[in-house]
Structure 1
Amino acid sequence: MQTDAAIDALTDFVQRHRRLFVLTGAGVSTESGIPDYRDDKGYWKRPEPVRYQDFMGSQAVRQRYWACSMIGWPVMANARPGAAHLALARLEARDRVRLLLTQNVDGLHRAAGSASPVELHGRIDTVVCMECRRTLPRAEFQEQLESRNPDWVALEARAAPDGDADLHGLDFSQFFVPPCPHCGGILKPDVVFFGESVPPDRVAAARAALADSDAMLVVGSSLMVYSGFRFAQAAAAASLPIAALNLGRTRADDLLALKVQAPAGAALAAVVDRLNA
């Protein structure tokens, strides 16, 4: 499908369905400088992220994780909303979005002005104690990491998804990970790791919104992770049409009424401009 025809088709889809259930993935944030996990065929570009069980069960894994995160955090901290985030916020302001459900943990939808996105996998800018459940800002924890590990601060590494960085060939055994200041427990980013369950209240809120929607729009997600794919399955089971704006294959390709392969930011901005016209 040519670009103009694809944008026309996507605009028509949005115009005909006034209560959109929108699900977004990493493809909406790559334009903000945040790397993604998968290629256009849906395969991993890099090793899988750390698993919950490994993080909780191994001090060595936590040392490696937080060392890489300390180096990679500035990419997340300095990221700003891109054209896709802004366009979706404009669609919401026009009362065309029943719910925005995001698999991303970067907080950029809120920063763009989306009022109440459901952040399925949590927020990377918050750290939670796994014992007492108290939280602290990630920026504050970054200061603690840097002050306790000054020899690591000057290291440079290639940015990786979700505030990670590629550090190889280093001895992480001397990297100090501060404990919870309240109870001494294990601190973890307040995000859903692989092998960890999505909080049921988020799933319930998303399912309720989907039941009150008349179509689903997937933006920048391959849907390879089941936590997102299940909503496409639910939409299909309810006979809701599904459109996807994604560069490459999605797990739901056989469920789609429309697929547009184009950069998310430019495509959505064009759709909003056409609706305004």
Structure 2
Amino acid sequence: MSSPADLKAAQDKLAEFLAAARHAVAFTGAGISTECGIPDFRSPGGLWTQNKPIPFDLFLAHRAARNEAWRRKFAMDAAFGGAVPGRGHRALAWLLAQGRLHGIITQNIDGLHQASGVPDDALVELHGNTTYATCLDCAQRYELDWVRTRFEAAGGHAPDCTACGGAVKTATVSFGQAMPEREMARAAALTQACDLFIVIGSSLVVYPAAGFPLRAKRQGARLVILNREPTDLDAVADLVVRAEIGDVLAPFAAADAAPA
């Protein structure tokens, strides 16, 4: 836990970096959403300690796996579906609106950046979005209420696409599923152009997404890492802050509260 003096010093340094930057980019992970009541993946009690992830090939091959994936999805929605953007989300949305941030790359799938006011053209969702579903064969979009109604009516059996009969899945990237080419290209372009890369709430262990901070650093950008736990890139970062994300970013959420 950082002291108030340490916290203020970190906020001042981040404000200094933002003021000097011409093209700042944020990179967010699960840690920015824990304040909103959504647990992360690897910490004790995290989502992966409760349920082993269902690989993509298993989801495709077995209806039982698809049934279980949707059962978990609706159980999680019951627990976390009411989450609203936290202080970190609101701060990034404000910095973006003010032109002090030029884009957000996120590993998150919870839709809270959009809910905070971040437009789609400023957001790169590397791992997709769990707030809607798509057919894996024809890409038909389905809203979750549609899936839930049919799932429950069928006694817990996942529905198939009404257009082509394909498997319907949340619009997320599962283990073993190819990363979205368009989003990877957008993230690479933002990284290449930036002179300040701010990592927020990511353990930086999931690749290829975690390769972007190092790429930014190697091409000359300043690297800031805001995360409660150490990461493998701390040693090369220009600023490392191990504190609660909401506490650090709260003063950046409005002009009259921003650090001097």
What TM-score do the two structures reach when normalised by structure 1?
Answer: 0.83
CA deviations on 1:7-27 (whole Å, 9 max, x unpaired) are: 222222222224211100111
RMSD value, Cα: 2.2
Q: Which residue of 1 aligns with 2:65?
A: 61
CA deviations on 1:232-276 (whole Å, 9 max, x unpaired) are: 121122021100111102232232111101111121112445536
Q: Which residue of 2 aligns with 1:210?
A: 191
Determine if the alignment matches structure 1 residue 15 to structure 2 residue 19: yes
Shift of 1:126: 1.5
Q: Distance in 1 between matches of 2:208 and 2:146?
A: 30
Q: Distance in 2 between matches of 1:188 and 1:113?
A: 26
Query: What is the identity, as a one-letter code, of the residue corresponding to 2:206?
Result: V
Question: What are the ranges of 5 or more consecutive residues in structure 1 without an aligned counterpart?
Answer: 150-174
Determine if the alignment matches structure 1 residue 247 to structure 2 residue 251: no
User: SS at the partner of 2:228?
Assistant: coil
Q: Distance in 1 between matches of 2:118 and 2:137?
A: 32
Q: Distance in 2 between matches of 1:19 and 1:275?
A: 19
Q: Distance in 2 between matches of 1:94 and 1:23?
A: 18
Determine if the alignment matches structure 1 residue 94 to structure 2 residue 98: yes
Q: Distance in 1 between matches of 2:111 and 2:72?
A: 20
Query: What is the identity, as a one-letter code, of the residue corresponding to 1:120?
Result: L
Determine if the alignment matches structure 1 residue 131 to structure 2 residue 137: yes
Q: Which residue of 2 aligns with 1:158?
A: none
Point out which structure has higher relative CO (alpha carbons under 8 A, 6+ apart). 1
Q: Which residue of 1 aligns with 2:33?
A: 29
Shift of 1:188: 1.0
Contact 1:10-1:260 at 8 Å conserved across structures:
no
User: SS at the partner of 1:132?
Assistant: coil
Question: What are the ranges of 5 or more consecutive residues in structure 2 without an aligned counterpart?
Answer: none
User: Where do 1:1-277 residues align within 5 Å?
Assistant: 2-39=6-43, 45-115=49-119, 116-149=122-155, 175-272=156-253, 275=258
User: SS at the partner of 1:14?
Assistant: helix
Q: Distance in 2 between matches of 1:272 and 1:189?
A: 31
Contact 2:251-2:259 at 8 Å conserved across structures:
no
CA deviations on 1:179-211 (whole Å, 9 max, x unpaired) are: 112222111111111111211111111111222
Contact 1:122-1:190 at 8 Å conserved across structures:
yes
Q: Distance in 1 between matches of 2:228 and 2:145?
A: 32
Q: Distance in 1 between matches of 2:49 and 2:19?
A: 35
User: SS at the partner of 1:21?
Assistant: strand
Query: What is the identity, as a one-letter code, of the residue corresponding to 2:193?
Result: D
Contact 2:24-2:102 at 8 Å conserved across structures:
yes
- 1:272/1:126 CA distance change after superposition, 3 Å: closer
Q: Distance in 2 between matches of 1:97 and 1:227?
A: 23
Query: What is the identity, as a one-letter code, of the residue corresponding to 2:132?
Result: T
User: SS at the partner of 1:181?
Assistant: coil
Contact 1:27-1:220 at 8 Å conserved across structures:
yes
Q: Percent identity?
A: 34
Query: What is the identity, as a one-letter code, of the residue corresponding to 2:154?
Result: R
